[in-house]
Amino acid sequence: MLTQQHRKKLQLNSQNYHSNEANKDYFSVSQFKNMMDCQARTVASINGDYQMPSSTALMVGSYTHAAFESEEEFLKFQEENHDSIYKSRGGKYAEYNQADLMIQTIKEDPFAMFAMDGVKEKIFTANLFGVEWKIKVDSINFDRKTFTDLKTTQSLSNRYWSDKYHKHVSFVQAFDYVLQMAIYREVIQRNTGDYFNPYIVAVTKESPPDKAVLHFDDSRFDFELAYTETMMDNFIRVKNGLDKPIRCEKCAYCRQTKKLNNTFEIEYLLD
């Protein structure tokens, strides 16, 4: 297994966790998923040559997560992002009003809150597949040996076609949340010596929101870890500049940096 170049790694904290330096030193689930989408865009982002555009969906997701971290963090998030959340004439934009409904839905459900009880935003690092990984866990309960991630989704019952699984799947598989739980579980085990049980608290963007607490059969994790391992040699080489990153030719970065050098037949417009 090819390994990353050896040098002193950045000591992670809540302030630098998402920094370019941290992303250079560590793999993460989001970095892995970004590599799957477009290697060229991911490498450019890690190297500081391209900034991933923010989106309302990401902002609303961060807003929702902050509400369960602490009251202090929630207020701080709203102050730092005031113009994105609040209209100039007062009141929140519709997406944040919907998020408030989702937050209320979870906070008023004792079982959902029980599932999310624990230490918030705990950072762990560990070596997997020959490289250092970083994770930040929404809630981890060391007494129960459980950890929980909060997810928002359009609907609990939506079906998505997955090339990875070769079938229609739920949002949990479609957005690689099983893979995320598998990686988190391994990293936590490297740090504690125990395998913790993962859960997802899901809340929908419907009105009124739906909700669920989801668990996983352990047999799902072996496939996800094997799947990740098959990709890692190439991803490590690409990240270290040893292999040329593959362009997806579909994302904003590829459109922005595209250079034409040939023609193609109209049949390929639908590829």
Give me the pLDDT at residue 270, please.
81
- pLDDT at residue 3, rounded to an integer: 47
Residue 135: its pLDDT value, please?
98
Q: What is the pLDDT of residue 53?
A: 82
Domains of the chain (ranges, CATH numbers): 38-258 (3.90.320.10)
The H-assigned helical ranges of the chain are: 20-25, 29-37, 39-46, 56-69, 71-80, 82-85, 94-107, 110-115, 171-174, 177-192, 219-239, 252-257
Q: How many CB atoms lie within 10 A of CB 179?
A: 22
Q: How far is CA 230 from CA 13, 129, 176, 223, 235, in A?
A: 30, 10, 16, 11, 10
128 DSSP β-pair partners: 131
User: What residues contact residue 218 under an 8 Å CB cut-off, 6+ apart?
Assistant: none
In the prediction, which pLDDT does 7 show? Answer: 57
- The DSSP bridge pattern shows strands 160-162 and 146-153 to be unpaired
Residue 116 is predicted with a pLDDT of 97
Nearest Cα neighbor of 1 from 127, 187, 182 is 127
Question: What averages of pLDDT result for each successive group of 10 residues across the chain (271 residues)?
Answer: 60 93 96 98 95 87 93 93 91 95 97 97 96 97 98 96 96 98 98 98 96 97 97 97 96 95 88 73
Q: What is the dihedral of CA 175, 179, 180, 184, to 10 degrees?
A: 170
- Structure pTM? 0.92
